Chain A
Amino acid sequence: MAMTHRQRILAAARGEHLDKAPFGARIDLWYGYHLAHGTLPKKYQGWSLVDILRDQGSGILYRGYAIVKEKYLDMEVIEKTAPPYISTEYRTPIGIIAKKEVLDTSEGALVKYEMEKLFKSVKDYPVIRYVFEHTEPVDDFATYNRMRAEVGEDGLVLTGAQFWSPVQRVMREIMGYDVFFYELADRPAEVESLIEVMKDLSRRKLRLALKSDMEIFNVCANWSDDIHTPVFRKYFIPWFQEVCDFLHSHGRLTMAHVDGEMRRLNPFFKETRIDVAEAVTPAPQTRVPMKEFREQLGENVTIWGGIPSILFEPMYSDKEFDDYIKNLFQEAAPGYRLILGMGDNLPFDGNIERVGWVVELIDKYGKLPIQV
């Protein structure tokens, strides 16, 4: 009996040899945009994302955003909405911290961006620690289970940024990129104490998430060379090793969403023990060719991705698209530990028919092992 898309993707993630490369396409950005604007192609109006990908013949990468939520104890959380802004105050016995987010629909689906971070000055350190020390993870498997049932054997459901590494959470969510590096230079002990609090919370969240049947855990979002390599070595790698050992011991796989410039971080990927590098985005969208990704990540890491988003745009002709995929297979030879996918999404002005075309090109060029 033929393997399903889900089985094929998981087999490639585990490093098993298949007869041809699997394909897990991600189109939520394209779908959300056109659904919100009423501009889905005529053929697909009224269709679900999952059914569109089924029609194109590809496997599905379906992104949910959380399977574990955070509940705040021993504090008052006050949220005020004044569209498009949401202001949230955390009133604790030792002080108040606040953040301001803006609701944006530029990407189709509603996305929250933080306009004001929780950390504003040195006096916020103890309050932020208090908030996350008094945060309790609670399961939120209902959405995940619904999406899982919808996808069935045609793909996988993955989470968004919720399990990203503790240091990345402090860097991106709590402080903001530039402030994080200034604080790390000026007050390293304070920053490290915050990272430790986040680690503890992350461990509790992961233990709870194990009660779901999620096969692959996305343990870090949006990697790129912006993450300082010395910081990556000191703070990221030990955490990933701990998380991977923990999840592997429970039979689960791990992945990182690596859709940025990766030349400087690729050499360290193997050390993290992460199984899958997802949303790998080679040249021309970044400066790293597929061949370099393949060589740097080694034989124990599965690449899920390889097709830059911009290749789906009208700027690239059908012939250029075809040539790119053909060359991609050559550079990824022999092609094991490869799941074709987008780096990282079908763009809003991308051609959905090219998803189905990838399926045809896999039949043409993606039989394994690929001979160079």
Chain B
Amino acid sequence: MSDLSSLIKAIVAGDRDKAVQFTNEALRAGVKSSDIITKGLQPGMATVGEKFSSGEYFLPDMLMAARAMKTALEVLQPLLTKAGMPTIGRVVIGTVQGDMHDIGKNVVATFLGGSGFEVFDLGLNVPDQQFIDAVREKKANILGLSALLTTTMPAMGRIIKELEKVGLRSRVKIIVGGAPITPQYAKFIGADAYAHDGGEAIPVCKQLVGK
């Protein structure tokens, strides 16, 4: 098998041109697209997440890495449509109703996508019912809720209660995050987990789906 270390390095460096170059080289060398993802792109993104959590990388470094990964994925997309994207779990994610902030949520969504999760990003200002419907329709393993305002964070607790009411709560793990959210608040509203940032969200979500 072709050595994917150059691709990993390109992702870690956030270099999209090189990420595309090494993806094409791997394909020409006969590496399966699924292996390029699981053994090249995903380890690269995992390293970026670790560097962010340790303080070495900044949020823009994560954005550049995510852009490089997305560009490489576009190369693989036509092949993946036939073979299907390898996934370790389905995540529905969004910013709760009344909240127009999405930088943090976008980073988390991108990183989960780059780490092997199938991500359904509902966007921002998402009504409670839309989360419930998406959890049901997408058969989500994880629901990610984001809020930046103290006025909007109560929506998280409401959604959890509604999931209980409609019998979906036991089927989905819930992770919450955002500026005013703390681990104590996550516990207070009955969420399963809290993540401070995109780097932290990856291992927490993997743990939630037993990976």
Q: Chain A: residues with CB nearer than 8 A to chain B?
A: 29, 33, 102, 104, 106-108, 113, 115, 177-178, 181-182, 185, 225-226, 228-231, 260, 263-264, 284-285, 287, 309-310, 313, 315, 345, 347-350
Contact = CB atoms under 8 A, between A and B. Distances in A.
B184 interface: yes
Contacts of A182: 63-64, 67
Interface in B78-114: 97-100, 103, 106
A225 B103 CA distance: 13
Contacts of B106: 178
A229 B58 contact: yes
Contact of A106 (B55, B152, B182): B152
Interface of B: 14, 55, 58-60, 63-64, 67, 97-100, 103, 106, 149-152, 154, 179-180, 182, 184-185, 188, 196
A278 B70 CA distance: 38
Contact of A104 (B55, B98, B184, B196): B98
A225 B197 CA distance: 11
Interface centre among B97, B179, B185 (most CB of A within 10 A): B179
A310 B55 CA distance: 25
A302 B9 CA distance: 43
Judged by DSSP, the binding face of A is loop
Nearest to B150: A347
A104 B179 CA distance: 19
Contacts of A264: 55, 58
Contact of A310 (B14, B64, B103, B182): B182
19 contacts: A104-B100, A107-B151, A113-B100, A177-B103, A178-B63, A181-B63, A185-B14, A228-B59, A228-B60, A231-B60, A264-B55, A264-B58, A284-B184, A285-B179, A285-B180, A310-B180, A313-B150, A345-B150, A348-B151
Contacts of B103: 177-178, 226
Contact of A226 (B59, B67, B180, B188): B59
Nearest to B152: A106
A33 B151 contact: yes
B185 to A, nearest CB: 6
Judged by DSSP, the binding face of B is loop
A175 B94 CA distance: 22
A315 B151 CA distance: 14
Given A106-B99, A178-B103, A347 B59 contact: no
Query: Closest 5 interchain pairs by CB?
Result: A106-B98, A347-B150, A113-B100, A181-B60, A228-B60
Contacts of A228: 58-60
Nearest to A172: B103
Given A33-B151, A106-B99, A181 B185 contact: no
B154 A349 contact: yes
Nearest to B58: A228
B58 A102 contact: no
Interface centre among B58, B59, B150 (most CB of A within 10 A): B150
Nearest to A316: B184
Nearest to A102: B100
Nearest to A287: B196
A350 B154 CA distance: 12
B20 to A, nearest CB: 15
A319 to B, nearest CB: 15
A346 B104 CA distance: 23
Contact of B150 (A29, A181, A287): A29
A69 B151 CA distance: 29
Nearest to A224: B179
A229 B55 CA distance: 11
A327 B64 CA distance: 40
Given A182-B63, A182-B67, A108 B185 contact: no
